[in-house]
Amino acid sequence: MDVVRGHLQTYDWGQVDGLDRWTPATGGPQAELWFGTHPNGPSIPRDGGELTVTMPILTKILAAARPLSIQIHPPADFARVQFEAQQSDPAVPDLLPDPYAKAEILIAIEPFTILEGLRDPAAAAHILSPLGPVLAPAVDALRHDDFDAAIRSVLDIPRSGVGGPARGLPGAMAAAGLPTLDSEVIGEVLDVYPDDPGVFVAAMLNARTLRPGQGVYVEPGTVHAYVRGRGVEVMTASDNVLRLGLTSKTVAVDAALGALSVVGQPHHCDPEESDGVRTYAPVGAPFRVDMLEDTSFTAGTGDARTVVCLEGSVNAGNEVLAPGDAILLDRHGPDVNLQVRGRAVVARAAS
């Protein structure tokens, strides 16, 4: 059992000191706090020693101030083949840091706005059709249910040709009868990425705001983008991301579309609740999550488990966790009895 502090990631989309409830203030963006052993950001043992476990899951606290990149997490076969090709051939782009599928669940701590899954193609075509001839090939592709061709078409638009048509997106969404949230979100995207052709891909996605306590499970292959808010994220221990815009990082169109599931849609998770425990167990997910509030709970042996204190304190045997402290246990670790005075999250890998 390792008692750790989170590893802070200072990506530019993070809220300024947005995670200072759980880690010291820095005066700059604080995007993600990682609890796990992934080599891109292993947790820090609280006593200054060395990590003794290897975790198959990764738990994060997120604080997004503005839209993240449009993302697809590759499924297992795609990740393995791409990673092996990178390792064996220097000419293959180095797109993935590990050979694993990445599935994740996001649970809102505060209202969290996201873009999730592809719209109905006819609805997407209706949004783009008034925006001028530069969007005509994408509209035609959407009318033939061909998202692959539509996305390729809009991402081929030069940055110099994006601004004029893109400024019409909020009005086109309103004219199409979409909820106000859709226009608001695309307006936020435009504020940050006014000349990025990825804004047209964003317009092909559904907007939603998760209420505190609501979750969304994102299977590999599902296109999505997080917009703003704070939440807890649990995922398989992979950092594989393929991007389709709204980023200064690599946009790998062929790879991302190769990993895309056009029928993949996020699964919304309203938890089962009992005696201060809210349980999120999406069908087919390689993990389950329990959110605890002012309760007792046993994190039983047999699975790898991560316990993170979110608020107040957690007594775990002889250890006391403060906000931002966590326990990492591998599948051979003992039962751990928790006394939660506040809030905590327990993530466990599926057996």
pLDDT values of the chain reduced to their tens digit, one per residue, 351 residues: 899 999 999 999 999 999 999 999 999 999 999 999 999 999 999 998 899 999 999 999 999 999 999 999 999 999 999 999 999 999 999 999 999 999 999 999 999 999 999 999 999 999 999 999 999 999 999 999 999 999 999 999 999 999 999 999 999 999 999 999 999 999 999 999 999 999 999 999 999 999 999 999 999 999 999 999 999 999 999 989 999 999 988 899 999 999 998 877 888 988 999 999 999 999 989 999 999 999 999 999 999 999 999 999 999 988 999 999 999 999 998 999 999 999 999 999 986
Residue 266: per-residue pLDDT: 85
Residue 262: per-residue pLDDT: 81
Give CA–CA dist 72/156, Å, rounded.
19
Chain centroid to CA 190: how far? 21
Q: Which CATH superfamily is domain 2-115+210-269 in?
A: Jelly Rolls (2.60.120.10)
Give CA–CA dist 15/246, Å, rounded.
17
Q: Where are the domains of the chain?
A: 2-115+210-269, 120-203, 285-349
Give CA–CA dist 110/180, Å, rounded.
20
Query: Which ranges of 221-316 would DSSP assign to H, the alpha helix?
Result: 253-259
Give CA–CA dist 304/52, Å, rounded.
13
Burial 148-176 (b: 16+ CB within 10 A, else e): ebbbbbbbebeeeebeebbebbbebbeeb
Fold entry, domain 285-349: Jelly Rolls (2.60.120)
Residues in the chain: 351
DSSP for residue 276: T
Residue 253: per-residue pLDDT: 94
Same fold, 2-115+210-269 and 285-349: yes
Contact 237, 34 (CB under 8 A): no
